């Protein structure tokens, strides 16, 4: 799946974003029906880390309906975009913002007119400890040693977290307590494993998880996390890539997106 002209470092970076799944230790998530006719086609999809579980479920539904396969690679939006500009074999890009898809089109990597908002993210302050997080007063009190935040330079949820802290007037007091995750998935892991007492995560990451304590950050404390998808030029002639983009707007996909706590009111 990786072009021969990738450097060793680039190959490693691309593999690092892939999710290992199955006893064989594969580095790709291939969502395909386990039985039935051979898949009609395959598409490589770059997916923002916050959308991991929803993307897996959508890709499984996509495969069952179309017989196409979606090969999903996960990482921070900024890291994935850098790989796209370095000739990574991605054909569809599901970002955690609307800036990079627009930039992809402007810089010639994306197909004109193909981008749209597939989900609107929500930010949550979460701790694996019961009763630690109450509301914004938890941040103002600062009664903790470490708070996990995704890298605001590459991860839109990290940007939103910084915006929220600044809006509450607590950023300067807390910045030395920040433990920075490379992406929102690593940020979640920091909190889950108690390497940080609390942290800002995506609401979708807590779907089905009632453990710990949390506060859903009011949307007026940060700019809307509009997550856009775009068909990349590498996938323009690929039926599977075009079909996956179309499937994201289907009722079945939107139901999954809503189930994971995203907004979809502007998704079409």
Per the annotation, where are the binding residues for molybdate?
Answer: 77, 184
* Residues flagged as binding site: 77, 184
Place of tokens 């509009």: 226
Q: Is 47 helix (H, G, I), strand (E, B) or coil?
A: strand
* Cβ 209 vs Cβ 129: under 8 Å: no
Full 3-state SS string of 158-198 = HHHHHHHHHHCCCHHHHHHHEEEECCHHHHHHHHHCCCCCE
d(CA 152, CA 106): 22
| Angstrom distances, CA of residue 139 to CA of 126, 161, 232 | 11, 12, 40
Residues, the chain, total? 268
Count of alpha carbons within 13 angstroms of residue 141, beta-carbon side: 9
Adjacency order of strands within the sheet including 69-75: 29-31, 69-75, 42-48, 92-94, 225-231, 116-121
């Amino acid at each position: 799946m990786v072009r021969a002209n990738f450097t060793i470092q680039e190959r490693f970076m691309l593999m690092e974003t892939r999710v290992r799944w199955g006893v064989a230790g594969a580095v790709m998530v291939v969502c395909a029906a386990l039985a039935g006719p051979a898949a009609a086609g395959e598409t490589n999809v770059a997916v923002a880390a916050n959308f991991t579980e929803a993307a897996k479920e959508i890709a499984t539904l996509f495969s069952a309906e179309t017989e196409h396969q979606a090969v999903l690679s996960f990482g921070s939006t900024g890291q994935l975009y850098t790989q796209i500009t370095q000739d990574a074999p991605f054909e569809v890009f599901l970002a955690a913002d609307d800036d990079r898809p627009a930039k992809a089109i402007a810089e010639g990597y994306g197909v004109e007119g193909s981008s749209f908002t597939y989900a609107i993210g929500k930010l949550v302050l979460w701790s694996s400890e019961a009763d630690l997080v109450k509301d914004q007063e938890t941040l103002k009190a600062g009664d903790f040693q470490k708070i996990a935040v995704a890298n605001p330079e590459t991860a839109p949820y990290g940007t939103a977290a910084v915006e929220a802290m600044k809006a509450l007037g607590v950023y300067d007091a807390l910045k030395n307590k920040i433990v920075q995750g490379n992406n929102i998935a690593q940020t979640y892991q920091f909190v889950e494993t108690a390497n940080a007492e609390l942290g800002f995560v995506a609401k979708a990451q807590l779907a089905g998880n009632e453990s710990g304590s949390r506060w859903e950050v009011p949307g007026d404390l940060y700019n809307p996390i509009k997550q856009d998808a775009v068909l990349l030029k590498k996938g323009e002639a690929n039926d599977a890539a075009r079909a996956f983009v179309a499937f994201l707007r289907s009722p079945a996909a939107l139901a999954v997106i809503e189930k994971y706590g995203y907004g979809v009111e502007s998704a079409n």
